[in-house]
């Protein structure tokens, strides 16, 4: 049991079902969840925390799955473009998607102390940003919505 959205949950179960989901999606969309990519996703899933590309690489390297940076970045490219993981721009780090399957406009609450991350869904077509974009004729391709701060646990610690 480790926190997700800063609350306890059945982690083993959440990892397993997410991997199953990912496999299903890959089958449906003809994507290849190769050993490296699968393992990278597992590693990200193992924590509900943001991992740096080089953190991920270190784990992959320890398991003989590749030693050079492109190994990690390619896996992350695949996972992020498939929607299985997200980049946390505020930390230059990566996290497994918590709502796999849903069409995404994720928003994150990120604890800068322990790097745990809660993922919320938002609606693409609502909100100020979308409004501002419509008003000015701007075409949105991707949104980055992140709140950096302290999770309840780390507030207590401080």
Partner DNA sequence: CTCCATTATGTTATGTTATAACGCATGTAG
Partner DNA sequence: CTACATGCGTTATAACATAACATAATGGAG
Contact 151, 114 (CB under 8 A): yes
Cβ atoms 90, 100 nearer than 8 A: no
Place of tokens 């992140």: 146
Instruction: For residue 2, state whether it binds DNA (rule: CB under 7 A).
Output: no
Q: Judged by CB under 7 A, does residue 113 bind DNA?
A: no
At its nearest, how many Å lie between a copy of itself and the CB of residue 70?
Answer: 20
Task: Tell me the two tokens of residue 12.
Answer: 């083993």
DSSP string, 17-42: HHHHHHHHHHHHHT----HHHHHHHH
The item of DNA, a copy of itself, none sharing an interface with residue 67, based on CB under 5 to 8 Å by kind, is DNA
User: Quick one: which segment of 69-77, 97-105, 127-135, 136-144 binds DNA (CB under 7 A)?
Assistant: 69-77
Counting contacts by CB under 7 A, is residue 37 touching DNA? yes
Nearer to DNA, 23 or 77 (CB): 77
In sequence order, the β-bridge partners of residue 126 are none
In a 3-state reduction of DSSP, which class is residue 7? strand
Interface positions with a copy of itself (CB under 8 A):
5-7, 89-90, 107, 109, 111-112, 118, 120, 122, 127-129, 132-133, 136-152, 155
């Amino acid at each position: 049991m480790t926190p997700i959205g800063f609350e306890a949950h059945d982690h083993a179960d959440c990892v397993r079902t997410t991997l199953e989901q990912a496999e299903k999606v890959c089958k449906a969309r003809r994507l290849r969840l190769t050993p490296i990519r699968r393992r990278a996703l597992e590693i990200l899933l193992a924590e509900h925390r943001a991992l740096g590309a080089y953190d991920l690489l270190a784990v992959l390297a320890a398991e003989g799955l590749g030693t050079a940076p492109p190994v990690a970045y390619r896996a992350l490219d695949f996972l992020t473009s498939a929607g299985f993981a997200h980049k946390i721009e505020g930390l230059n780090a990566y996290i497994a998607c918590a709502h796999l399957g849903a069409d995404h406009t994720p928003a994150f609450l990120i604890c800068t102390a322990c790097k745990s991350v809660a993922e919320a869904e938002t609606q693409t077509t609502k909100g100020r940003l979308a409004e501002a974009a419509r008003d000015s004729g701007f075409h949105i391709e991707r949104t980055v919505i992140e709140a950096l701060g302290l999770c309840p646990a780390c507030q207590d610690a401080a």
